[in-house]
Amino acid sequence: MRVPPVLNVHRRDTDNRALITLTGEIDLDSAPLVHASLERCLHDGIRAIDVDVTAVTFYDHNSLNAFLCALLHTTAAGGSLQLRDPSPALERLVALTGSGSLFLTLPDAHAGSWTPPQPFLLPQAAHWLTPALPALPGGVL
């Protein structure tokens, strides 16, 4: 019997900003928790989301999919999402998929006049969301 990986999610809000701290592994079983946590921020009116991924020990395409989906929804709601302190593994995953430009620092949702990112960014990410990211030949990330 396989023991599911553990992922802990901690959220701290300050005004219109949330810091989500993730600890553990993000994979097929735990990615829905990441997605739900980030969506909950939007539901609660948070428009600036910082995701601290310092203590995440495993990533796969499911984690990237959860982050991209949250980024699209946050941007559509007029907010920003930033990944903080990504590990070399996450940086590699983002680089391999060509999604690095999507995770550049976006304008702060507290700024007076916020302009959404250029429209070409959203369609670029959409093809990564449906269908799910394909596995790389010959192994696991």
CA–CA separation, 61 and 38 (whole Å): 17
Q: Which two tokens stand for residue 54?
A: 């310092």
Helix (H, G, I), strand (E, B) or coil at 90: helix
Model pLDDT for residues 35-67, shown as the tens digit of each residue: 999 999 999 999 999 999 999 999 888 998 999
- 18: nearest Cα among 5, 28, 9, 26: 9
Model pLDDT for residues 97-136, shown as the tens digit of each residue: 888 777 654 344 334 333 433 333 334 444 444 444 444 4
Q: Report yes or no: 81 and 75 within 8 Å, Cβ to Cβ.
A: yes
Give the sheet arrangement for strand 17-25, strand by strand. 7-14, 17-25, 48-58, 80-84
